[in-house]
């Protein structure tokens, strides 16, 4: 049998072998969506249905794009493009710029962005404190990603019940001011890359023709997180054609705060009635124990659109049960996790197969310290920063200088010699910042080794070109070590052992989501993304105080209700919880706590039906009480489930 079809289940194979045209894979985490699309690309290329250079595959994070390129390379495909939407747009725009705009190419805005927002906010009479500026920047990004112009903003904000960072008319002023300042300075922000690319194709027939002649086969991974702006670019790329493969999981939509929506994924079969639609349920990534927990996390999700209620079925052999742990404070949590990581390393688990995942990047510091104390190498993902690190910039300068004076010798050896000049020693330093610097430099040598095996005649200029491309696409090389990453950055990736840390109220869900049901649901999906990253070992932990010896005022995450086993010491604390609190307004349909003022007024959650008759409600209530007693869990947990079953 064809090598590319081996190791695929019948559904995956159906998607791989489908003729060119619309294909949609709707499936849960770890079911092989990314594997399916990489195999599909390789299959189409190998069978001669499309040339590798005509394929454009896009995804949402640089890491995921890099992962796709690595998988394609392993399947023997070279020349197919796998990029983030932004990196693909940037490349196209550079090429088409002389024809669609002309003159000097505008520069990408980086740290100046907040400065321009500050100027615009100042003119609009708003605070220029950094938090307010970040909120305003986020709001403008949301508007642009949602294709909302400044003029349309007030109506759109009202329609979507947004909690605007300033009165809508002020936001409009800042939005307009920022656009003006940016254009005058001839700068482009990330959203402009997409806007200009779409406009170039929509308004310039010759550009569209040339582009569509070059790229003929489109693939989108993680399609559940597409924004209206990205969809517009995709439509501009496609024109009247339909050679588009999309894969995604609506339960992993984690960017709706930034305008993303799973609707295009769920509506794909309606938009392309002739599409090959495949659903995958077998989870190949995680042990049945991890899969069971993932199913449990997502089971409680509210307002899940039809088509997203997939249950994962674990395929791997049994593994250890996920572990839950409560700590007095964060340093204690971090120290315990570093020790567990040490034990895993001693058992032979490679450092690159261990990840510590958290909700916000600020949480990384305490884990960095704890790992460094035990001499465990680590890398903080937020990979964008890799190319901005001082030692990497020095290394790039040294490599360019060397290339100008000598393009001879075996590439990895040459790179190692050049980097010795900027501090790469044979033996790693003991730990801390010196160790991190060393790890970055070593990653460059490893990349040179990788390039040598993958590309014939790899030399220093080719290596520098690869580095430039990676810097542009924000795709750093892999640094050996335990990964520290935010839940957002972990999407699409997998590790043997995963620590989900800091699972306290205010962090997961994040404070500002409180009171907004949709935002809380997005936080639940983030936890689902986190849980489904683990192949085998999974630890979930939280600390009751931030600082060592601090007051223990924090409560563990609400999402852990019902997940922690009955015999776990922390479970007793959960059962006590409801009686200690003052009664809060509850939904008259599902009984869950109402946080949003609109929902309190209505007396029910936005996602609950308004037309349940009293008789059915009464039945639900008594069912709830009975089930709660039987299961010994807080009644409202059971009631939520009852509603789902009954409706
Ligand atoms: P996510 O939603 O997290 O992005 P995914 O659906 O894209 O997950 P993949 O990353 O493609 O899943 O696959 C998960 C893991 O399962 C990978 O290690 C992959 O190699 C493996 N896998 C996928 N399909 C199969 C299969 N048919 N047989 C064996 N292993 C498989
Ligand atoms: Mg994937």
**Residue 30, ligand 1, Cβ within 6 A:** yes
Q: Which of 9, 30, 496 to mutate to test the pocket of ligand 1 (most atoms within 8 A of CB)?
A: 30
**Residue 284, ligand 1, Cβ within 6 A:** yes
Ligand 1 midpoint to CA 10 (Å): 14
Residues of the chain with CATH 3.40.50.300: 10-91+195-280, 319-376+482-576
Ligand 1 atom index nearest CA of 28: 2
Architecture in CATH for domain 10-91+195-280: 3-Layer(aba) Sandwich (3.40)
Q: Please report the pLDDT score of residue 274 as a whole number.
A: 96
Nearest residue (by CA) to ligand 1, atom 28, is 7
Ligand nearest to the CA of 533: 1
Higher-confidence position of 295 and 547: 295
At the topology level of CATH, where does 107-185 sit?
Arc Repressor Mutant, subunit A (1.10.10)
Residues lining ligand 2 (ion), CB within 5 A? 33-34, 492
Please give the Cα distance from 476 to 87 (Å, whole number).
14
31 annotated to a ligand binding site: yes
Interval 326-331 mean pLDDT: 91
Interval 466-491 mean pLDDT: 81
Buried b (16+ CB within 10 A) or exposed e, 579-599: eeeeeeebbbbbbbbbbbeeb
Residues of the chain with CATH 1.10.10: 107-185
Segment holding 328, helix H or strand E:
strand 323-329
Q: Which of 6, 284, 526 to mutate to test the pocket of ligand 1 (most atoms within 8 A of CB)?
A: 284
Please give the Cα distance from 607 to 624 (Å, whole number).
19
Please give the Cα distance from 139 to 452 (Å, whole number).
45
Ligand nearest to the CA of 15: 1
Ligand 2 midpoint to CA 35 (Å): 7
**Residue 33, ligand 1, Cβ within 6 A:** yes
- Is the pLDDT reported for residue 494 higher than 50? yes
Q: Please report the pLDDT score of residue 630 as a whole number.
A: 55
Close Cβ partners of 308 (under 8 Å, ≥ 6 residues apart):
249, 250, 251, 262, 266
- Is the pLDDT reported for residue 309 higher than 80? no
Residues 131-144 pLDDT 10s: 789 889 999 999 99
Ligand 2 midpoint to CA 10 (Å): 18
Nearest residue (by CA) to ligand 1, atom 23, is 32
Please give the Cα distance from 5 to 109 (Å, whole number).
44
Task: For residue 254, give the DSSP letter.
Answer: -
Nearest alpha carbon to residue 358 among 557, 563, 67: 557
CATH class of 319-376+482-576: alpha beta
Nearest residue (by CA) to ligand 1, atom 2, is 29
Residues 595-634 pLDDT 10s: 676 677 777 776 666 655 666 666 666 665 555 555 544 4
Task: For residue 73, give the DSSP letter.
Answer: H
Question: CB–CB of 505/558 below 8 Å?
Answer: yes
R_g of the chain computed on alpha carbons: 26
The angle subtended at Cα 123 by Cα 120 and Cα 124, nearest 5°, is 90
Question: CB–CB of 15/176 below 8 Å?
Answer: no
33 annotated to a ligand binding site: yes
ipTM over 0.85: yes
Higher-confidence position of 616 and 501: 501
Please give the Cα distance from 625 to 188 (Å, whole number).
58
Reply yes or no: is the peptide bond before residue 525 cis, omega within 30 of 0: no
CB count within 10 Å of CB 623 equals 17
27 annotated to a ligand binding site: yes
């Amino acid at each position: 049998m064809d090598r590319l079809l081996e190791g695929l289940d019948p559904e995956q194979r159906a998607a791989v072998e489908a003729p060119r045209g619309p294909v949609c894979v709707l499936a849960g985490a770890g079911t092989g969506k990314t594997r399916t699309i990489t195999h599909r690309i390789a299959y189409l290329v190998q069978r001669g249905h499309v040339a590798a250079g005509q394929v454009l595959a896009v995804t949402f994070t640089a890491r995921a794009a890099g992962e796709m390129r690595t998988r394609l390379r392993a399947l023997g495909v070279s020349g197919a493009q796998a990029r983030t939407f932004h990196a693909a747009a940037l490349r196209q725009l550079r090429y088409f710029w002389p024809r669609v705009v002309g003159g000097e190419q505008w520069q990408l805005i980086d740290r100046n962005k907040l400065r321009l927002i500050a100027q615009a906010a100042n003119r609009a009479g708003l605070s220029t404190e950094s938090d307010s500026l970040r909120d305003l920047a986020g709001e403008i990004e949301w508007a642009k990603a949602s294709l909302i112009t400044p003029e349309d903003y007030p109506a759109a904000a009202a329609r979507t019940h947004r909690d605007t960072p300033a009165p809508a008319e002020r936001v409009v002023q800042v939005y307009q001011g920022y656009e003006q300042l940016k254009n005058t300075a001839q700068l482009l922000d990330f959203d402009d890359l997409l806007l200009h690319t779409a406009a170039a194709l929509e308004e310039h027939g010759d550009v569209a023709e040339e582009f569509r002649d070059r790229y003929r086969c489109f693939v989108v991974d993680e399609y559940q997180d597409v924004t209206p702006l990205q969809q517009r670019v995709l439509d501009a790329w496609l024109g009247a054609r339909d050679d588009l493969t999309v894969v995604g999981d609506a339960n992993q939509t984690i960017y709706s705060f930034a305008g993303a929506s799973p609707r295009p994924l769920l509506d794909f079969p309606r938009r392309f009635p002739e599409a090959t639609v495949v659903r995958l349920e077998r989870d190949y990534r995680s042990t049945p124990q991890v899969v069971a927990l993932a199913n449990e996390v997502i089971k409680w999700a509210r307002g899940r659109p039809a088509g997203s209620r997939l249950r994962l079925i674990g395929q791997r052999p049994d593994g250890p049960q996920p572990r839950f742990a409560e700590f007095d404070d964060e340093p204690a949590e971090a120290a315990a996790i570093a020790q567990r990581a040490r034990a895993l390393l001693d058992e032979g688990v490679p450092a690159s197969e261990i990840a510590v995942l958290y909700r916000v990047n600020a949480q990384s510091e305490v884990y960095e310290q704890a790992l460094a104390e035990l001499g465990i190498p680590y890398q903080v993902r937020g990979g964008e920063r890799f190319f901005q690190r001082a030692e990497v910039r020095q290394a790039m300068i040294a490599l360019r200088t060397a290339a100008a004076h000598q393009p001879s010798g075996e590439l990895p050896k040459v790179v190692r010699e050049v980097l010795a000049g900027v501090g790469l020693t044979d033996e790693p330093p003991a730990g801390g910042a010196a160790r991190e610097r060393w790890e970055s430099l070593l990653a460059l040598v490893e990349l040179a080794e990788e390039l040598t095996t993958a590309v014939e005649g790899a030399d220093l200029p080719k290596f520098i070109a690869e580095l430039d491309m990676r810097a542009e696409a924000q795709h750093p090389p892999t640094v050996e070590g335990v990964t520290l990453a935010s839940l957002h950055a972990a999407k699409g990736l997998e590790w043997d052992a995963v620590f989900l840390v800091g699972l306290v109220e205010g962090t997961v869900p994040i404070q500002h989501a409180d009171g907004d049901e949709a935002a809380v649901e997005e936080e639940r999906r983030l936890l689902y993304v986190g849980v489904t990253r683990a192949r085998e070992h999974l630890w979930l932990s939280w600390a009751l105080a931030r600082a060592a010896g601090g007051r223990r005022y924090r409560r563990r995450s609400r999402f852990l209700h019902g997940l922690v086993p009955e015999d776990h010491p922390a479970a007793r604390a959960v059962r006590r919880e409801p009686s200690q609190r003052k009664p809060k307004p509850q939904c008259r349909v599902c009984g869950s706590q109402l946080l949003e003022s609109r929902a309190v007024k209505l007396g029910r959650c936005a996602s609950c039906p308004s037309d349940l008759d009293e008789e059915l409600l009464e039945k639900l209530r008594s069912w709830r009480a009975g089930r709660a007693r039987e299961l010994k869990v807080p009644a409202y947990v059971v009631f939520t489930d009852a509603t789902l079953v009954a409706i």
